[in-house]
Every structure is written in structure tokens, then in C-alpha cells.
Amino acid sequence: MKSLNVSGNRRKLLTGAAAIGTGSALVLALDACSTDTGGAAASETASAAAEVPDLKDLETAEEIWDALLEGNQRWAAGESAHPDADVETRQELVEGQAPRAAVFTCVDSRVAPELVFDTGVGDIMVTRTAANTFDPLVSESVSYGPAALEAPLLVVLGHQKCGAVTAAHDALAAADAGEEAEEAEDHGYHLPEIVEALTPAYEAAKEESGDPVDAMIAANVALTVQALKEHPNLAELVADGELTVVGAVYSLETGVVTEIEV
């Protein structure tokens, strides 16, 4: 495998206004829109946010994980509340942070944990690498939230259609067959170290049924969970029941996060 194909779409924001008669009529129309539509939307948003449990008030890993999954359900249904995204919360956090969970996930732009779990500023500490692969430096970043800031929950989040996992799988499968991996696109981006890091997941997923890339994604999550449980900064916390490490996979198609057995 020599390169990873990365593609994306750019969105254009089209704005415009049509004249609707006299200037006074335009003012009245805008005022009505602000009063009826904007006011109702703001009220609905405030109401939704008021019903969302504050992660900062939750103590146990189980409570926090349940709250994150509830937030994910809001996200998947298009009903995100965007809690704790106000100026007051931002200013309160200037003096320090106390995130209730750490999330280790992929760099993929479609997988933003703060949005996926519908959380606010200061709620979760996120570390991201391609295919959530890690080395000693990355693992220290991941463990900082639980070890230094006493977050009782650590989530390893893989995701559907991961480009890095797909590229690694194709390269390793080609090597098994004695072939050279085909280039998806010649843009000079090489991933030899990521392929090496994902080799254990490839080997672990070989005997699994179903889509081989999906199996490799899940295997990588499971192996990462186990490695983090054994990390010097976290092993004692796990053994004492002060830290829970869970693995999950995010679906790009549905927006739903599903916990996997590890």
C-alpha cells in the first residue's frame, strides 16, 4: 500500500434577498420572521438544553456513558441540544477543567465526538489519530484525562468506512496474496507506520465473518481498549474500579454509536 485516497466535498452557502415592495413592508416581514420563527426556535432549543443532564454533575462511568449515548441519540435524530456552549460556561472554565470522559477516536472529519455525543465545552477530552492508532506519546495524551483529571470514563471510538483501516487492510491483504497493493490515487501520501500499527487488528479479524474492513475496525477498537487498560498510567485505576474503558463504533450512515464487546 503506497497511498491513501482522500476526497471531500465543498459546500457553497448561497445567500440572497428579494425585494418585496416598500422598505416598510420589508421591515415588517423581517420583524415577523424574527418574532415567530426565530423566537420559537430559540425557545425549543432552550427547552431541549434544559432537559439534558449536565455531565459535570455525573459521578459514575455508567451514568456518564448513558448520558453520552443519550446525546448520541439526539444527534442521530437531528435533535441536538448543544448544551454548555454559552459564554458563561466558557468563562467559568478559564480557571480549570474537569472533563467527565476521555474519547480516543479517528481524525476523520465526519467523526467529531463533541457533536456525535452532543456535549458541551469542557465535557469530554478528545484525542484523535488516523484510525485511532496509538504509540507511547499518543497513549500518554489519551490517558491524561483519566489519570490527571480523574475522568472516570474512557471511550475508544472507531467508525464505519475508516479510510486508514481500509487502506491498511488492502495493503496487508495484497501482501498476503503476494501482490502489490493498488494505488487508490497518486497523491504521494504514504502510511507505512499506520499499516504496521494496524497489522494486529488485521490478523485478529481474519477469522471473523462479514465485511473484513468492518471486522478489522472492531478488532482495532478491542485491541486498543485492552492496551489502554494495561497502560502504566491507567492499569491501577482500572483495577481499583475508578476507570471504565469502553469500545464503540460509530456509523456514518445512521449517526449511531454502538458499544462493542471487548
255 neighbors 75 (Cβ within 8 angstroms): yes
State yes or no: 159 annotated in a binding site: yes
What region does 73 belong to: left with phi over 0, alpha with psi -120 to 50, or beta?
alpha
Compute the distance between CA of residue 106 and CA of residue 111 in angstroms, rounded to an integer: 7
State yes or no: 33 annotated in a binding site: no
C-alpha cell at 231: 497502560
Query: Would you tell me the crossing angle of helices 163-176 and 212-229 to the nearest 10 degrees?
Result: 110
State yes or no: 106 annotated in a binding site: yes
Compute the distance between CA of residue 105 and CA of residue 15 in angstroms, rounded to an integer: 35
165 neighbors 131 (Cβ within 8 angstroms): yes
State yes or no: 108 annotated in a binding site: yes
Give the annotated binding-site residues.
106, 108, 159, 162
Give the annotated binding-site residues for Zn(2+).
106, 108, 159, 162
